[in-house]
Chains A and B, each alone.
Chain A
């Protein structure tokens, strides 16, 4: 079974530039998550999708971050314009769906450095 795929693995940009991250979840997983992990901290939820609908985006800085999950499969997370404090690893995760129990399956992450 293929795992959660993310790209790019690494990205370096200057502040005020834009960046986009892509995620393809495990096939059949209805729920997709984007987490931000700053060095020395735990993963912080940015947005949670159930199929192609947003379940929770309360911690997404909507003035600069956007995310979509077209057709309920893969997803993109965009930052525009980037700030220094956006330097972090962006983790995508998926799970079978609400009430299904079990664990999250994470991708390897996309490390963003904003200079």
Chain B
């Protein structure tokens, strides 16, 4: 049962433009959501989070939007840089059990 889905396996964007990565979920019990970034041969690293009671969280070039009615969240990267090229995972979290559910990832390529 895939509770978190990322339907786009890959995305290519020109340097300086906006990257938009999407994520859908089915579990309405998630308390917050996270985005992770993963480079090859490294473990995923935390990027940004958003509480389920918020609709937007911003951190520098990264903004996450949450649409609870649509059970959809998106990560915006503006402007995109070549160093942003990585696989991005979204995750939903059930607070009480400290349970993390990951999507399948989107591979972002930022073209110089």
A43-B89, A104-B46, A108-B43 given as contacts; is B96 within 8 A of A99 (CB)? yes
Say whether, besides A103-B46, A108-B41, A98 and B102 are in contact (CB < 8 Å). no
Q: Classify chain A: how many residues form its interface, as a range.
A: 20 to 34
Q: Which residues of A contact B4 (CB under 8 A)?
A: 42
Q: A42: which B residues are within 8 A, CB to CB? A: 4, 6, 89, 102-105
B42 and A108: CB pair below 8 A?
A: yes
- List CB contacts (< 8 Å) of B37-59 with chain A: 41-46, 49
Q: Is A61 close to B, CB under 8 A?
A: no
Cα separation A100 to B31 with both chains bound (whole Å): 12
Contact at B98–A99, with CB atoms within 8 Å? yes
Whether A97 contacts B34 by the Cβ 8 Å rule is no
A47 within 8 A of B: no
B104 x A56 contact (CB < 8 A)? no
- Of the candidates B41, B43, B96, B98, which one forms a contact with A106 in the assembled complex, judged by CB atoms under 8 Å apart? B43
**Distance between Cα atoms of A57 and B102 in the complex (Å):** 16
Q: Is A31 an interface residue (CB 8 A)?
A: yes
Partner of B43, one of A48, A55, A95, A107: A107
Max count, chain A CB within 10 A of own CB: residue among B34, B95, B99: B99
Determine if B98 and A100 form an interchain contact, defined as CB atoms under 8 angstroms apart.
yes
A-B contact pairs, 17 of them (CB 8 A): A4-B43, A40-B105, A41-B105, A42-B6, A42-B102, A42-B103, A48-B98, A56-B97, A91-B43, A99-B95, A99-B96, A104-B100, A105-B46, A106-B36, A107-B43, A108-B42, A108-B43
A residues neighboring B (CB under 8 Å): 4, 31, 33, 35, 40-45, 48, 50, 55-56, 91, 93, 95, 97-101, 103-109, 111
10 A-B pairs with the lowest CB-CB distances in the bound complex, closest first: A106-B43, A42-B102, A103-B46, A42-B104, A98-B98, A43-B102, A108-B43, A106-B44, A42-B103, A107-B43
